[in-house]
Amino acid sequence: MDSNNIWFKVIVGVILVGYMAFIFYQSLKGGIAYKKQFENFKNSHKHYETVVDGAYWVWVMVAMAVLAFILMLMAPKLAKDGQTYYYYLAYGCIGLVFLGLSIDSYTHRRIYLTEEGFFFDDTYYRYRMIANYEFKNGIVTRNCTVLMSNRDKIVVTKKIGELLQTKQKEFKKAKKERRK
């Protein structure tokens, strides 16, 4: 099949843009849910501590998205022999993916701690719901899976996982002190 065939271009474009738009939509939907639930959390918890691990990742992802969109605009100068369409398509899709990743980085690299629990992603969890921690210390993967008693699993950064462990111990200690 000839790559300059108009139907081939349309099919490839629809598939790629559709899939990338779906990925971006999922990230955007998660970001909107996060914002809405965070407002509810702020209204019901006046005193909370914000912990952000790796806020620079949000800015790195936004910068990469901007770079991809700039390269998309430069496609006529970069492309050879009628391949401009594919350059537009590729850089536009890459830009959408990086925008989605920036939203995901924002929501998954911050946690809000209270005396009795924490708000992560779009849910408030109590320390007493935590069943176990599974730390992964690989070369690439350095995170913590927090297993909840209701069978939920949340994946946080290693630093946040260690902080949750500490806060849970403090919560249990304070609970023992209140019982005396």
Same structural domain, 75 and 163:
no
| Final residue of a structural domain among 71, 91, 110 | 110
The single residue listed with the structure tokens 């430069």 is 74
Residues facing 124 on adjacent strands: 119
Average pLDDT, the chain: 89
pLDDT at 1 over 60: no
pLDDT, tens only, 64-96? 999 999 999 988 888 777 778 888 888 999 999
Q: What percent of the chain has pLDDT over 90?
A: 59
Domain that holds residue 134: 114-180
Mean pLDDT, range 47-52, rounded to an integer: 92
Same structural domain, 51 and 136:
no
Same structural domain, 95 and 137:
no
pLDDT at 3 over 70: no
Same structural domain, 60 and 12:
yes
CB 148 within 8 A of CB 129: yes
| Final residue of a structural domain among 83, 110, 137 | 110
Same structural domain, 149 and 86:
no
Mean pLDDT, range 46-51, rounded to an integer: 91
Q: How many residues does the chain have?
A: 180
**Spatial distance between the Cα atoms of 22 and 88, rounded to a whole number of angstroms:** 18
| Final residue of a structural domain among 110, 127, 157 | 110
Q: What's residue 4's pLDDT?
A: 65
Could you give the C-alpha distances from 15 to 8, 19, 90, 121, in angstroms and in order? Answer: 11, 6, 12, 30
